Chains A and B, each alone.
Chain A
Amino acid sequence: MDLQQFQDTEFPVPTELQSNVAITSLSKLYNWGRRNSMWPMLFGLACCAIEMIATASSRFDLSRFGMEVMRATPRQADLMIVSGTVTKKMIVPIVRLYNQMPEPKYVLAMGACASGGGPFKEGYNVVSGIDKYIPVDVYVPGCPPTPQALLYGLIALQKKIDGQSLANMDDVPWYGVGPSEPTPVPILGPDIIDPRQMHIIRQQAERAAQGLPAGVRELPAIPQPEKKKVPAKTGQGAAAADGEMDPAKAERLRKREAALARKRAREAAKKQQGEG
């Protein structure tokens, strides 16, 4: 074990003792323990799960980061890798699983679908991003992300853990006083219902009952691209356009013309040779 990583600059240790003694903060030691034994939940949703399995296999080898212990039960896992498209039917068990995970817990959204809906975003049964329901720590783009990308995401998560301090309750709310609130589990009604949005649903239903249109924010108008005026290319018009032209551009055009002429001459010569 390399003790250097723990050394706190505030309290220097004599050089000859540095390989045996380290003075450090509790947060550092604690984070070191946590970051190197993240246990992901054995939990695959879609295509990305296949790449997640490939990441765990020998070629990419997740165990280099202390993460090879995939637990099938949420109660033994620290990290939820949301690997794939989250559907409305599936979000209910996912939120339930998230609530069952003991704290401290982290969520990694793997792939385009889990991060924001991906190619299936417009689908009627697709949740456009898991972060609409549960908090996400790391997003890994890709469709699916390569195993290397997933590893990069996991290293990013480790860095995030390194930066957390036990003294700062905003960083680690789970060390606060009292139990933390579970995320409300969505309901499968006529469409998926987020209990946190009940007031908007009521509002909208009232509007509909009064015959008012739904309260959608208006989109800004689409800016129309300005059409460029094409100068006339005959007679004086063309000359005038030439006169106004930027000298650098004129120079480029002239060179291009010359190059084209040379090319044509070359081709003509070749042709003649061929015929000869």
Chain B
Amino acid sequence: MTDIAPDQDLTAVDIDGALDYLKQRFPDAVREDDREGYSGIIVDKDKLVDVATTIRDELGFNYLSSATAVDYLGISDHMEMVYHTYRISGGGALVFKAQTDREKAELPSLVPVWKGADFQEREAYDLFGIRFEGHPNLRRILLWEGFDGHPMRKDWKEAYYEQDHKPFDSRWPAGWVHRAEERTPYGKNVRYPDNLDLSRLVDVSEEDVYQSLGLGVDVQQLDSDDIATERLLVNMGPHHPSTHGVFRMVVTMNGETIEKLEPVMGYLHRNHEKIGERNTFLHNMPFTDRLDYISSMGNNFGYALAVEQLLSRGARYDAPTYRAEVIRVLMAELTRIVNHLWAIGFWLNDLGAFFTPVLYFIEERERILDFFEAVAGSRMMCNYMRFGGVAKDLPERLHSVANLVNDKVRDYNTMQYLTELITERIPRTIEELEEYLSENEIIKARSIGYGYLSPEDAIQYSTAGPLLRGSGIPYDVRRAEPYSIYPELDFDIAVRDEGDMYARYLVRVEEMWQSVRILKQILPRLERTQGEPIMAGKPQHTPRVPLGEAYGRVENPKGELGFYVVSAGDPKGPQNPWRYHVRAPSFINLTPLGLMCQNHKVADIVAILGSIDIVLGETDR
């Protein structure tokens, strides 16, 4: 153990040094996590807030990336919260964990230390049933109040439950297919508790939402303003054209000014993580496509990185080949352009430019999707990356609609198509976009100064992506903790200091330019590596994944996308992730939405939501 000199700058020590410091500082409360394949420290729950404060203030790990729970039923019979913290200046993660009993699961809340823990702790409460003492608003977030049980616990079974791990014995090798509906008495995906009280079958989920807004509690105080305006409660969503999906905001308004905004989500909660734990490791790859369905290639990338981290600790592991990495970056950057075109287009929809800009941008998007389709076989759900490489090499020729006027499908040389796309078409579109929009009077009037988020808050609330960089924090995972071949590529981090909607828009535009810059460097690399293998070693359907935990993260268009994967249990048994958690940028970026919308008008909150750029598949998972 290295001793740390008292005058040393603690915010610069490496992670091992920081862990040693914590062990010295809290000898009774901190111990090393010495399980096989695990890293970081386990903190006694009584001292959790103190240790977290030390980590944030003294050691400088001020960015809480992910907080999630794991249920170790049958292994060590406890629940665990796992926190990943980073320095905003870059570098690796300091991981700390807190354990609690399964029966009486309680932990102190870390919301006083990191506001970004707010939604993530609510999610852990909702799905695992861990109570967080001191949490300001501990209610269910993805499911509804009144739901029976906490579904992510290992002993909670769904209505269609068949077996813990796929492939199910009935399907393979027995080859027997049945409809799951036939196994339930209701013919539907429902299960009720055994002690169902028939007199209490009422919907309490709505009341609960309104209660948290404190509405109707103190009417006198609400009406004591100087100017008599009516106070209103407005529900926007889940069916609303401006909420980018099935998102809902409950807003209390004084006249037309927003007083309080409560995001309500879970309308697209499709149990990604529970299904992910039943699947094999490779099974999850197509599911990641459906997280952020506009940038599916980026999601593939993150998940592949997380599992490769685990695999690399095993005996037989081949790192992805160079060509595979080149293709991965190509796909990730094309995805970024698609996503930002889409995000800007729909943000303009929210500002009132109804669908005209979107139609301009969709043209280029279609071209990129044609390329994805030719390579991966699908326009949107590409399911393209594998552990150790990619599924297929680029085809020699591809078919695409030559121009949108005569709708003729033409045959192209792939490299020629890509070169034309990257060096001519996409730059032309971004130029056009800038010309029409960046100096546009209406856009500037509507967006400058609206939806402000200060740099301190941006870090405190664990925001990521353009939202963080629009607030003046130059944090980009591609540079902060480089992965793949990004270190050898030349590009800048797009950053703006203003912290308002316009800054986020400019960050997105600049990021597209940087993506084009990266893609131009990728083209010669693609030419050079033509014919080289795209997969390291032999493709495996069920790779042997060593025990341990891994957190793989990528800079997705919407922000930092992380996958926390735990491989535990019987190493010779079924190869399924014990825990599969997605750190979703769209979800965590919504934490400061209420703050950003305060004192703005109704028309602005629509645009502020658009400037965050959420996708509900990822928000609700």
Residues on A close to B: CB < 8 A?
42-47, 49-51, 53-54, 57-59, 72, 84-85, 87-90, 92-93, 97, 113, 117, 119-128, 132, 143-144, 146, 187-194, 197, 200-202, 204-205, 208, 214-217, 219, 222-225
- Name which of B174, B181, B184, B189 has the most chain A CB atoms within 10 A of its CB: B189
Q: A128-B188, A201-B198 are in contact. Are A123 and B401 (CB under 8 A)?
A: no
A87 engages B268 (CB within 8 Å):
yes
* CB-defined contacts of B293 to chain A, threshold 8 Å: 46-47, 50
Q: Type the 1/0 row for B499-520, where 1 means its CB is closer than 8 Å to any CB of A.
A: 0000000000000000000000
Q: Which residue of B lies closest to A90 (CB)?
A: B267
Q: Which residue of A lies closest to B169 (CB)?
A: A222
A201 engages B180 (CB within 8 Å):
no
Partner of A46, one of B193, B196, B268, B286: B268
Q: In the complex, what distance in Å separates the CA atom of A256 from the CA atom of B442?
A: 77
* CB-defined contacts of A191 to chain B, threshold 8 Å: 147-148, 159, 190-192
Q: In the complex, what distance in Å separates the CA atom of A35 from the CA atom of B203?
A: 39
| Given contact pairs A124-B274, A128-B180, A214-B185, a sample of 13 additional A-B residue pairs in the complex whose CB atoms are under 8 Å apart | A44-B245, A49-B245, A53-B358, A119-B286, A121-B160, A122-B180, A122-B278, A123-B158, A123-B274, A126-B270, A194-B190, A216-B183, A222-B170
* CB-defined contacts of A214 to chain B, threshold 8 Å: 185
* CB-defined contacts of B381 to chain A, threshold 8 Å: 47, 143-144
Q: A57-B359, A123-B275, A194-B188 are in contact. Are A89 and B269 (CB under 8 A)?
A: yes
B271 within 8 A of A: yes
A208 engages B194 (CB within 8 Å):
yes
* CB-defined contacts of A45 to chain B, threshold 8 Å: 245-246, 268
* CB-defined contacts of B427 to chain A, threshold 8 Å: none
- A–B Cβ pairs within 8 angstroms, 11 of them: A47-B290, A54-B366, A59-B401, A87-B270, A119-B287, A122-B180, A123-B270, A123-B272, A144-B381, A222-B176, A223-B176
The 3 nearest A-B residue pairs measured at CB: A123-B271, A190-B148, A47-B293
* CB-defined contacts of A59 to chain B, threshold 8 Å: 362-363, 366, 401, 404
B189 engages A197 (CB within 8 Å):
no
* CB-defined contacts of A88 to chain B, threshold 8 Å: 189
Partner of B203, one of A72, A124, A187: A187
Q: In the complex, what distance in Å separates the CA atom of A85 from the CA atom of B621?
A: 11
The total number of A-B Cβ pairs within 8 Å is: 195
B307 within 8 A of A: no
B617 within 8 A of A: yes
- Name which of A47, A192, A204, A225 has the most chain B CB atoms within 10 A of its CB: A47
B189 engages A128 (CB within 8 Å):
yes
B444 within 8 A of A: no
Q: In the complex, what distance in Å separates the CA atom of A197 from the CA atom of B184?
A: 13
B48 within 8 A of A: no
* CB-defined contacts of A58 to chain B, threshold 8 Å: 359, 362-363, 404
B270 engages A219 (CB within 8 Å):
no
* CB-defined contacts of A222 to chain B, threshold 8 Å: 170, 174, 176
B227 within 8 A of A: no
Q: Type the 1/0 row for B280-293, where 1 means its CB is closer than 8 Å to any CB of A.
A: 00000011001001
- Name which of B198, B203, B246, B617 has the most chain A CB atoms within 10 A of its CB: B246
B180 engages A42 (CB within 8 Å):
no
B184 engages A216 (CB within 8 Å):
yes
* CB-defined contacts of B200 to chain A, threshold 8 Å: 189
* CB-defined contacts of B269 to chain A, threshold 8 Å: 87, 89, 125
Q: In the complex, what distance in Å separates the CA atom of A7 from the CA atom of B543?
A: 66
> Which residues of B198-224 have CB atoms within 8 Å of chain A's CB atoms?
198, 200-203, 205
Partner of B158, one of A87, A93, A124, A187: A124
Q: In the complex, what distance in Å separates the CA atom of A19 from the CA atom of B358?
A: 42
Q: A58-B359, A201-B196 are in contact. Are A215 and B185 (CB under 8 A)?
A: yes
CB distance from A172 to the nearest CB of B (A): 27
* CB-defined contacts of B187 to chain A, threshold 8 Å: 132
* CB-defined contacts of B182 to chain A, threshold 8 Å: 217, 219
Partner of A205, one of B196, B240, B266, B275: B196
Q: In the complex, what distance in Å separates the CA atom of A93 from the CA atom of B278?
A: 30
Q: Type the 1/0 row for B239-259, where 1 means its CB is closer than 8 Å to any CB of A.
A: 111000110000000000000
Partner of A90, one of B161, B174, B195, B238: B238
A190 engages B193 (CB within 8 Å):
yes
Partner of A126, one of B181, B196, B271, B616: B271
Q: In the complex, what distance in Å separates the CA atom of A121 from the CA atom of B274?
A: 12
B189 engages A117 (CB within 8 Å):
yes
